[in-house]
Structure 1
Amino acid sequence: VTPLMELKPNAGSDRAWVWNTHADFADESPKPELLAIRFLNAENAQKFKAKFEECRNEVDKRAKKGKVKS
């Protein structure tokens, strides 16, 4: 999770999110990707969004303090 990642609703669904990543390391060489996730219900989707944003904010805060390792 990086500060530049932003969750967006997928096709207007209340239980699915999409986001862009600048470097997906799943393959041999990193490349930008559009990622998606879908949940069984809107409640779990909102919990994921809240935790995702919490992590994004923490990474941003630590980067500004110089505490993020590259």
Structure 2
Amino acid sequence: MASAPAKVSDWRKKAIQSIQARCSEKGWQTWRKQHMLKTFSKSSMTELTDDEIKRLYQTIWNKK
């Protein structure tokens, strides 16, 4: 994922879609929103910086 922005032009959109899909599949949407407010003080993924998207992506995919 670190080199994703250089390799994939729409990596941000794909990362957000991936996060949304994973959270919907696992029933984590409420948790994700609370986590974003607590960690980034933001309520929408569109407000996150590229680094914050990367951090959220890793958090979601490492969550069990």
TM-score, with length taken from structure 1:
0.33
Structure with more helix by fraction: 2
Structure with more strand by fraction: 1
Using CA pairs under 8 Å that are at least 6 residues apart, name the structure with larger relative contact order, 1 or 2: 2
TM-score, with length taken from structure 2:
0.36
